[in-house]
Chain A
Amino acid sequence: MTAEEAAKIIFNGLKAAGINLIVTLPDINLSQLLREVEEDQDVIHVPLCREEEGIGISAGAYLVGKKCAAIMQNGGFFNSHNAIVTTLLQCEIPLLLLIYYAGDIGDRTFSTSGGLTEPLLRALGIRYWVMRDPGDAPEVIKRAQILAQDSRRPVALLLTKEGLGLRMPIKSL
């Protein structure tokens, strides 16, 4: 599957799950997915300067009836921790987090971030799943959104290179 096809499947999954406002900050590996967000006419797209503000924007939009997702790199997830703790967790506000897993196995440059991503999600009590097959994305997103809304907490999906159609999948991973 190509990155273009994977991006369409993931984005259509978000729309099918009812997501209608998306905040984003680019990572090169998210380019195709962000193009889908930019080109869509129905979803409100808010490009961010820093990911933490996106947590606030999503929270505000949720309080008036929007269903929100945030797309960012794991570095942006790290940037957002105070907002996640004192706005989302403390006020019990759901948010679907789609986090590019920089420093995943075989991914260069950010191995330190990769090593700390899952421990930090666990420390924050955020339930998460690693996405390695774009074909599964619509169902995973649908279920994650149900969990986020029902638990009134953020739920994270970690987007890997193979999950984004950017490299060969390995069956045992």
Chain B
Amino acid sequence: MKRFDCLKIIAAEASDALVVTSAGAMTLEWQVLRPSDANLRVRTLGLCSSIALGMALGLPHRKVIALDGDGSLLMNLCSLPTIARMQPKNLLHVVFDNEVYEASGNKKTATAAGTDLVAIARASGIKEARWANSVDAFAQAVTAALSSDGLSFIGAKVTTERTEVPPYPIDEVENKYRFIRHVEKTEKIEIITTSLPASYN
């Protein structure tokens, strides 16, 4: 499977979900398919699933999607038992497993030697964890996950093929502010208030 084809399926169904993307080219592909201030690009390899968990716990009525990679998840495997322990009903965790550290020179990850991330997710306590082995199966799994009221994990083996897309011209601080302002507007809450007093206090 091609990652871009899988991302198209998610983009068609994501609606107003908050989407966290891991480091690498996937972020750029996702931004082209669903350009939105509801997208957050992660800078720390591994933290995609944890940042998404924090969002899911903070806004339990809003769908949150983590678009993770195998190298990223392998670096933070302990996020799986923590996610299982917290059981956020609004979280969908997708892992695109291309068996390499794509952004770091295509060296093989442990999944190339047989490590099964879906089996680890299930053994961690995430019951709805499955591999999607075709684009059709992936589409069905995404539809099922986004229409369900429960935690889901989907693994997809994808090729290392990249899709040519334009660069993503905003830095992490601008990404942060745009994301927060989007959440404030759509949730009608205040997150960052700058107090400019008449005098210092």
Contacts and interface: CB of A to CB of B under 8 A. Distances in A.
A64 B176 CA distance: 11
B54 A59 contact: yes
Interface residues of B, number: 40
B193 to A, nearest CB: 9
A59 B175 CA distance: 13
A26 interface: no
Interface string B163-193: 0000000001101100110011001011100
A60 B52 CA distance: 6
Contacts of B79: 49, 53, 56
Interface in A39-54: 44, 46-50, 52-54
Interface in A90-121: 90-93
Nearest to A50: B78
Contacts of B190: 65
Contact of A57 (B50, B172, B191): B50
A58 B176 contact: no
A47 to B, nearest CB: 7
A82 interface: yes
A48 B44 contact: no
Interface in A58-73: 58-66, 68
Contacts of A49: 78-79, 81-82
Contacts of A61: 54-55, 57-58
Contact of B47 (A21, A47, A48, A53): A53
A66 B58 contact: yes
A50 B77 CA distance: 10
Given A63-B179, A91-B176, A56 B58 contact: no
A55 interface: yes
B132 interface: no
A90 B57 CA distance: 23
Contacts of A65: 58-59, 183-184, 187, 189-191
A53 B124 CA distance: 16
Contacts of B48: 56
A68 B191 CA distance: 13
A68 to B, nearest CB: 8
B54 A57 contact: yes
B201 to A, nearest CB: 10
A83 interface: yes
Interface in B55-80: 55-59, 62, 76, 78-79
Contacts of B86: 46
A57 B76 contact: no
A46 B190 CA distance: 23
A91 B58 contact: no
A58 B78 CA distance: 16
A86 interface: yes
Contacts of A63: 40, 51, 54-55, 58, 176, 179-180, 183, 191
Q: Which 3 A-B pairs rank lowest in CB-CB distance, beginning with the nearest?
A: A60-B54, A56-B50, A49-B78
6 contacts: A21-B57, A53-B79, A55-B44, A56-B46, A57-B57, A60-B52
Interface of A: 21, 44, 46-50, 52-66, 68, 82-83, 86-87, 90-93
Given A53-B76, A57-B53, A66-B57, 13 more contacts: A53-B47, A55-B44, A56-B47, A58-B54, A60-B20, A60-B51, A60-B57, A63-B176, A64-B18, A64-B54, A64-B187, A65-B187, A90-B43
